[in-house]
Structure 1
């Protein structure tokens, strides 16, 4: 986060002479807008501070609308007080408990939207009237306007704005100096996952694997739109999303509508997400014991449906992200509630191929893959990366609970995957055998095959084995007839070739005998 304005003022209609020693206001207090002269005075005061600061436009930051459970201090108005300021809204969900969405705020009301000063003043008017919408109005690190409870307004500037202060007093309002705005945005140190090209490519893989199916677009605090994701159609959703929207990815909707309807809550509240017909809009509504019957009748003929929890500790998507700006930088200051996969992403983005990591073996899967905990994430070691030498089972190389060091081979951020190698930390012993090409050794026969035999050429139990083709088993001194061998027999062989890349050793018994 960059610098903040140096000079802050609290602008109110409340005389500071009526404050006690603790700063609490004790005089008469009208917390609603008069829709008249006082409201107009507030707007003129903001305009005066903007003029002194050289500001003629503002940016909308962290826009919000309330749920229908609590609309505002004043009665609901069309468009949450934003009608006529922005283009009409597309269909969205804004907390409707009936399944009939009232529509979200207008399209242009999104984080980062730049508006001329006159539109900014109308947004201040809407917030003074507490008629639904709220946002921070800011311009870079030079100017801020924050509307608080009970007609308290906070203006920040990089200039003292003495003329604006005097103008505000003449308007009958009171500008008081403060150290900061209580509505300044606090940002954490965590890094938010961007919905960049890598995110969309990974999401496509998740959808193809049927591990993800619905995208929630939270484009304003308090409102969201839903998008069903199809194989090959993920990229079509991307350009339809609002700038800087927060995204949450969920499993797909179920076509078993009756089963989902049977799980509607008798107590508590859940969110029902459904699609009436294929390729139709995805809708959502809150459902509880009082509304479940009506909503069940409403969506009984839906094509697909899902039921999601609403409590913070239970509402856990597969993963989340925030839309970056056109240059790929995430400038939205709000954060999604991190899912476990997001915490994994934060770890994985610090890892690079070639890095050495330490971890603990957590399990060995039936199909042979070994899993290692590296700081709370389970990385995997495929069978070929456990050892340069052959083995019958991964448990011959590692055991659960064992601490190991391994080299990172690859990192995928979505789906989250880290592949490790144990053998990469050791020199390939097969390469040492290349210096023995042409030499004769004696080793035990380990396998008898239709096309030859294998012979161990190292004096260790897990030593490398080479193939003696059947054509190389003939003894020329015995009229070229094949010799009979069994597993365990010692056989003299000559090393003809060692290929560490293809993991192949070529041997000959015939040439070993001929050279003797």
Structure 2
């Protein structure tokens, strides 16, 4: 299995979404749809004031946070950062202690298994082994399903299928574990990298204004820019080829870091 270079933007997001410290506090009142709290064990006057934003109050649907909390109530919430100097917290992240314990125990890079419960055009839901009964915590984004080119997640998995993946992040606030199946599969470009300069046959899979994508093998697609196409210049690549056409191209570059293949016309 190949090791990809971590995307610093993704890593920054993962760090922000990791569970924060657990804090004890007292409900002091309400500021519109937000909850104001006094931090600390005593909750006495003079304690630091924190805020639980409306969307962090509860997993349950409520028109106003007073339906969930009462003034003077002692609660636990997760520290999520500061905004304009005031500490913000999430009560929803602590609402189900069993669920929180399960999510906190799961770390990025951990290998987990589960059963696919739903397949949708935006991703796949998974019942992870060991999660609290009645909940569904696993989720696979479409780009994390496979190295192969697919038009719908149902081409890569199905309901009831047992899967094993690598954890990308575990979020207590959304009660979701994002996992990747692709992370446990070898990047097909690693073996393909020595094809630079070779002439190969491929299938046109997609036509875009700036060129066409050509499938050269399982999980391997390259871009043939319109400027490289025989018969250029033209207003659209569709004037030269159609999806499904078999064409011959030369591999100009294999970029493993960006996971891209650049193609040229075979006679250039």
Q: Which TM-score band applies after superposition, normalised by the shorter structure?
A: 0.5 to 0.7
Cα distance, 1:375 vs structure 2: 1.3
Q: Counterpart of 2:119?
A: 364
Instruction: Decide which moves more: 228-237 or 375-384.
Output: 228-237
- Which structure: larger Rg? 1
The answer to whether residue 254 in structure 2 is matched with residue 495 in structure 1 is no
Change (3 A) 1:234 1:435: farther
Q: How many residues in Structure 1 have an aligned counterpart in Structure 2?
A: 213
Q: Distance in 2 between matches of 1:340 and 1:234?
A: 15
Superposed counterparts of 1:143-162, under 5 Å: none
The Cα offsets for residues 205-254 of structure 1, whole Å up to 9 and x where unpaired, read as: xxxxxxxxxx984xxxxxxxx434659987862147449xxxxx756874
Does structure 1 conserve the Cα–Cα contact (< 8 Å) formed by 2:115 and 2:163? yes
The answer to whether residue 243 in structure 2 is matched with residue 484 in structure 1 is no
Q: Counterpart of 1:398?
A: 157
Q: Counterpart of 1:238?
A: 39
Q: Distance in 2 between matches of 1:439 and 1:464?
A: 14
Q: Counterpart of 2:12?
A: none
The Cα offsets for residues 438-475 of structure 1, whole Å up to 9 and x where unpaired, read as: 111011222333322222212x5xx4221111111136
Cα distance, 1:350 vs structure 2: 2.5
Pick from 432, 436, 451 the counterpart of residue 210 of structure 2: 451
Q: Counterpart of 1:199?
A: 22
Pick from 186, 194, 197 the counterpart of residue 435 of structure 1: 194
Change (3 A) 1:357 1:449: closer
Pick from 306, 330, 345 the counterpart of residue 100 of structure 2: 345
The answer to whether residue 177 in structure 2 is matched with residue 418 in structure 1 is yes
Q: Distance in 2 between matches of 1:236 and 1:322?
A: 10
Does structure 1 conserve the Cα–Cα contact (< 8 Å) formed by 2:116 and 2:162? yes
Superposed counterparts of 1:45-444, under 5 Å: 198-199=21-22, 217=26, 226-228=27-29, 237-239=38-40, 241-242=42-43, 254=63, 282=71, 321=76, 341-365=96-120, 367-377=122-132, 378-444=137-203
Does structure 1 conserve the Cα–Cα contact (< 8 Å) formed by 2:116 and 2:124? no
Q: Distance in 1 between matches of 2:187 and 2:32?
A: 43
Q: Which runs of 5+ in 2 are unaligned?
A: 1-18, 45-56, 79-93
Q: Distance in 1 between matches of 2:31 and 2:255?
A: 46
Q: Which runs of 5+ in 1 are unaligned?
A: 1-195, 201-214, 218-225, 244-248, 261-271, 275-281, 285-319, 324-338
Q: Distance in 1 between matches of 2:30 and 2:162?
A: 41
Cα distance, 1:418 vs structure 2: 1.6
- Tell me how large the CA RMSD over aligned residues is: 3.9
SS at match of 2:127: strand
Instruction: Select the structure that is richer in strand.
Output: 2
Cα distance, 1:366 vs structure 2: 5.1
SS at match of 2:263: strand
Does structure 1 conserve the Cα–Cα contact (< 8 Å) formed by 2:30 and 2:36? no
Does structure 1 conserve the Cα–Cα contact (< 8 Å) formed by 2:25 and 2:39? no
Q: Give the TM-score normalised by structure 1.
A: 0.36
The Cα offsets for residues 101-136 of structure 1, whole Å up to 9 and x where unpaired, read as: xxxxxxxxxxxxxxxxxxxxxxxxxxxxxxxxxxxx
Does structure 1 conserve the Cα–Cα contact (< 8 Å) formed by 2:254 and 2:261? yes
Cα distance, 1:506 vs structure 2: 0.8
Instruction: Select the structure that is richer in helix.
Output: 1
Cα distance, 1:501 vs structure 2: 3.4
SS at match of 1:401: coil
Cα distance, 1:340 vs structure 2: 7.3
Change (3 A) 1:473 1:358: same
Does structure 2 conserve the Cα–Cα contact (< 8 Å) formed by 1:359 and 1:373? yes
Cα distance, 1:487 vs structure 2: 2.8
Does structure 2 conserve the Cα–Cα contact (< 8 Å) formed by 1:363 and 1:372? no
Does structure 2 conserve the Cα–Cα contact (< 8 Å) formed by 1:456 and 1:464? yes
